[in-house]
Structure 1
Amino acid sequence: MHSQCSTLCNNGAVVNESNCECICNEKQNGTKCDCIYPFTGGYCDTCAFVTCENGGIFNATSCSCACLDGSGDPQCKVDQSTTAVSSTITPNGSNSGEYSGICSLFSRHK
């Protein structure tokens, strides 16, 4: 079967034959399915960066960093001189089921 559409889609997207429009995934946008930054690659399934600085934690699914200082910098490059302290608390003598909590302290040094 020959396609009636002349539309060419980018990044592995396919053409909807009923309306000749590209069907983009959640990491693509536009009429031709361009990759949404920071996604890249043949199917927009690769991150443009894979490292987070200043202790940030990388999330491969969303291709983003969770920064300790809460900044919106994509790779946590902005050093806010933040210190993070965490501890886990479990009650002594509890026989009603184990539970724990995490306390975090974030402070900025100038």
Structure 2
Amino acid sequence: MNIEEKIALSKNPVQFIAEGNFLKLYNQSLYVVEQLLGFNLKVTAKYIKKIDEIIICGGFPTRSITKRYPNASPNLTGYELLGDYDLSGYELWYQKHCQIPKQKTPQSLLTTS
């Protein structure tokens, strides 16, 4: 699955995307899990040159999904958590995570393919 597909999926209810032994969350899905559901994850901002966009991602081991989210349902890409979530604070949260420390350049900090 390419990054465009992952980002598109992440706009829906919470999508935990399987990547090896981990489940990754991107953008809106990560916002819901971290801010609205209160699950603390290491959040990483990455500039993706291919789509000329900064994405925010985080994840955790697949084996812990049923313990942390017993209502998550398996699907073709990993798991999903259905619900109606308020994304009104997403834009501010996204901007906060896109801030780059002044001593580092965007290229050295964020570039990936």
What's the TM-score, normalizing by structure 1? 0.27
- Using CA pairs below 8 Å that are at least 6 residues apart, which structure has the higher relative contact order? 2
What's the TM-score, normalizing by structure 2? 0.26
